[in-house]
Amino acid sequence: MTTQELMQVLEQHQGERHVVVLHDYPDPDAIACAFAHQLISAELDIDVDVLHQGKVSHQQNIALVRVMGIELMEYEEGLDLSTYDGAIFIDNQGTTVPSILEALRKAQIPVILVVDHHEPQDRLEPEFTDIQQVGATATIYAGYLEGGAVQMDTARKEHVLVGTALMHGILSDTGGFIRAGAQDLQAAAFLARYRDAEILEQIMTQGRSKRVMDVIERALGDRIVAESYSIAGIGFLRAEDRDAIPQAADFLLTEENVHTAVVYGVLQGEEHQERMVGSLRTAKFTLDPDNFIKEVFGKGVEGQYFGGGRDAAGGFSIPLGFLSGDYGEDFQGLKWQVFDAQIKHKMFDKIGIDQSGLER
* 100-153 residue pLDDT tens: 999 999 999 999 999 999 888 878 999 999 999 999 999 999 999 999 999 999
Report d(CA 21, CA 33) in Å as an integer: 11
Residues 260 and 343 in one domain: yes
Report d(CA 147, CA 313) in Å as an integer: 29
Report d(CA 97, CA 99) in Å as an integer: 6
Report d(CA 162, CA 34) in Å as an integer: 10
Residues 198 and 219 in one domain: no
Residues 159 and 29 in one domain: yes
Q: Using the CB atoms, write b or e for 141-180: b if 16+ within 10 Å.
A: bbbbbbeebbebeeeeeebbbbbbbbbbbbbbbbbeeebb
The overall average pLDDT reported for the chain is 90
Is 157 within a domain? yes
Residues contacting residue 265 through CB under 8 Å, at least 6 positions apart: 215, 233, 234, 235, 236, 237, 245, 276, 277, 278
Structural domain ending residue among the three candidates 204, 221, 246: 204
**Is 70 exceeded by the pLDDT of residue 271?**
no
> What is the number of domains present in the chain?
2
Residues 216 and 245 in one domain: yes
Residues 228 and 327 in one domain: yes
Residues 54 and 71 in one domain: yes
Is 356 within a domain? no
Structural domain ending residue among the three candidates 204, 234, 255: 204
Report d(CA 354, CA 339) in Å as an integer: 19
Residues 139 and 273 in one domain: no
Amino acid at 24: D
The CATH code of the domain that includes 230 is 3.10.310
Is 318 within a domain? yes
Residues contacting residue 4 through CB under 8 Å, at least 6 positions apart: 147
Residues 263 and 297 in one domain: yes
Helix%, strand%, coil% for the chain, nearest 5: 40, 20, 40
Which secondary structure element, helix H or strand E, spans residue 243, and what is its range? none
The CATH code of the domain that includes 174 is 3.90.1640.10
Is 23 within a domain? yes
Residues 172 and 274 in one domain: no
Write down how long the chain is. 360
Residues 128 and 192 in one domain: yes
Is 360 within a domain? no
pLDDT digits (tens, 9 = 90+) for 2-39: 999 999 999 999 999 999 999 888 899 999 999 999 99
Return the higher-pLDDT residue of 358 and 260. 260
Residues 222 and 328 in one domain: yes
Average pLDDT over residues 198-215: 86
Structural domain ending residue among the three candidates 204, 225, 259: 204
Residues 173 and 32 in one domain: yes
Average pLDDT over residues 209-218: 89
Is 338 within a domain? yes
Is 359 within a domain? no
> What pLDDT is recorded for position 357?
57
CB 7 within 8 A of CB 42: no
Tell me the residue range of the domain where 220 lies.
210-351
